[in-house]
């Protein structure tokens, strides 16, 4: 049994800037359970999206809390510190979905060389991809020297990769241009990078704030970068897909009004702004904004491509992406529960320089 006390970092579901650090006992295990200790996690705009759509997309249910509080899901590495399950040995290091907490009890199922699935009852009806814990020893994408890049980018890049696969699966809805908002964000430029890998690549336009124009242009993965105020520079007669990472109601309306019928699809991927999600403003002209949910495309491709198909294709894209992204990010390391709280509040407030990546050693 671990000897130190445990803790949870909670946020108010109706006021994400209100936090509470709560002490609690380290949980005792029952037969069939394993105790994970989160070790290294990332905090990005993706986590803010989890909180903003936590009710409708059930993200709050993965790591429950009581009394109007929630635990925002994180991605990162954890170590097995206790185990009652054969095949899941103490010392095993895994990558997966983690709470903002000192420990996590999981009930491993389908244990094999590549990891396991958490079969805890409260997660049984939640999206399956979030319940998988990949053992580093069986993960072809794992590189011990690049853990920080995996912590920061892997959950975002799989979304970027599956989004582009979804668009390609639909022949880009007939579009020749893809415009991406919040273009300085990791999910956005990951998608731009993946679009550049397509054999019949579209023109990719990044939309960003004036302060992030230089950084976004320097990435080299956009054909053109526009200030948000220059949306009307998008060719109005060109069939265009809008990838909405920003979640800004005003920007969404400006894109729809300017492009009109030339806007053939609006994929809402995230919300780096706090002023609007699809349900807030569906009465925009033209196509209806549609929330893109990566697990849906993952499930489809597991059927289409068979065992290992996604991992092989994603791994190939990741290996091309990593050499570029190393020069695009400066890792800032925080420590402990207070470092985690500080990183959360900074990212929530939108104060993070686009080059800055928050990794927290717990």
Q: In this structure, are 117 and 225 located in the same domain?
A: no
- pLDDT, one tens digit for every residue, the chain (362 residues): 344 589 999 999 999 999 999 999 999 999 999 999 999 999 998 899 899 989 988 999 999 999 999 999 999 999 999 999 999 999 999 999 999 999 999 999 999 998 999 999 999 999 988 999 999 998 877 889 999 999 999 988 999 999 999 999 999 999 999 999 999 999 999 999 999 999 999 999 999 999 999 999 999 999 999 999 999 999 999 999 999 998 888 999 999 999 999 999 999 996 554 444 555 445 688 899 998 989 899 999 999 999 889 888 988 899 899 998 998 999 999 999 999 999 999 999 987 788 899 999 99
Domain that holds residue 52: 6-139+329-361
d(CA 99, CA 123): 13
Q: In this structure, are 66 and 131 located in the same domain?
A: yes
Single pTM value for the model: 0.82
Q: In this structure, are 135 and 213 located in the same domain?
A: no
Q: In this structure, are 131 and 51 located in the same domain?
A: yes
Q: In this structure, are 172 and 126 located in the same domain?
A: no
Strands (E), 61-212: 69-70, 74-83, 93-98, 104-106, 108-112, 115-118, 132-135, 177-180, 203-208
Cβ(241)–Cβ(178) under 8 Å? Answer: yes
* Cross-strand pairs, 267: 243, 290
Q: In this structure, are 65 and 169 located in the same domain?
A: no
Q: How many domains in the chain?
A: 2
The CATH number given to whatever domain includes residue 287 is 3.40.50.720
């Amino acid at each position: 049994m671990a000897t130190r006390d445990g803790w949870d970092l909670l946020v108010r579901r109706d006021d994400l800037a209100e936090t509470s650090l709560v002490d609690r006992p380290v949980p005792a295990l029952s037969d069939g359970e394993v105790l994970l200790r989160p070790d290294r996690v990332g905090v990005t705009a993706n986590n803010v999206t989890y909180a903003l759509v936590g009710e409708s997309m059930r993200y709050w249910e993965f790591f429950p809390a009581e009394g109007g509080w929630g635990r925002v899901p994180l991605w990162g590495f954890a170590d097995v510190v206790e185990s009652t399950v054969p095949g899941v040995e103490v010392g095993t290091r895994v990558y997966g979905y983690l709470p903002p907490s000192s420990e996590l009890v999981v009930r491993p199922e389908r244990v094999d060389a590549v990891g396991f699935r958490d079969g805890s009852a409260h997660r049984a009806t939640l999206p399956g991809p979030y319940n998988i814990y990949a053992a580093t020893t069986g993960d072809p994408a794992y590189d011990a020297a690049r853990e920080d890049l995996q912590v920061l980018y892997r959950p975002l890049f799989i979304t970027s990769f599956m989004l582009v696969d979804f668009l390609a699966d639909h022949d880009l809805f007939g579009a020749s241009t893809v415009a991406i908002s919040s273009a300085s964000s990791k999910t956005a430029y990951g998608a731009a990078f993946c679009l550049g890998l397509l054999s019949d690549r579209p023109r990719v336009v990044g939309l960003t704030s004036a302060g992030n124009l230089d950084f976004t242009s320097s990435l080299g993965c956009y054909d053109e970068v526009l200030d948000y105020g220059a949306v009307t520079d998008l060719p109005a007669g060109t069939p265009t897909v809008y990838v909405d990472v920003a979640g800004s109601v005003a920007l969404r309306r400006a894109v729809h009004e300017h492009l009109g019928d030339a806007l053939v699809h609006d994929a809402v991927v995230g919300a780096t702004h706090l002023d609007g999600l699809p349900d807030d403003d569906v009465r925009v002209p033209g196509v209806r904004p549609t929330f893109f949910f990566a697990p849906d495309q993952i499930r489809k491709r597991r059927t289409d491509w068979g065992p290992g198909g996604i991992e092989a294709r994603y791994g190939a894209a990741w290996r091309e992406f990593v050499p570029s992204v190393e020069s695009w990010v400066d890792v800032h390391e925080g420590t402990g529960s207070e470092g985690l709280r500080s990183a959360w509040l900074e990212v929530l407030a939108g104060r993070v320089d686009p080059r800055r990546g928050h990794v927290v050693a717990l």
